[in-house]
Amino acid sequence: MTEFYGWLFVDFIPLLYEKRRVARQLQVEVWLDLTQLLNELKAELANGETGTKTSGAKANVSYIV
């Protein structure tokens, strides 16, 4: 039975793992990447600003940086 291996780099250290484990690690890193989440939150905030506003009251919008 032939097993397939792939390289996973931690800084400059190469680690040899099974390809399924490398794929799983990539999924976890993508899941933990906050860039996509921040982009979606900014889009929701932008859509919320164009909605109806109450009589003269302004909502404070704070951004997480």
Give the whole-angstrom CA distance, residue 12 versus residue 8: 10
Structural domain spans, the chain? 5-45
Across the chain, mean pLDDT equals 75
- Asked whether the predicted pLDDT for residue 6 surpasses 80, the reply is yes
DSSP 8-state class, residue 60: -
CA distance 14 to 19: 14
Q: 55 has which bridge partners?
A: none
Helix, strand or coil for residue 61?
coil
pTM: 0.45
pLDDT bin (cut points 50, 70, 90) of residue 4 is very high
* Separation in Å, CA 22 to CA 43, 47, 56: 32, 38, 54
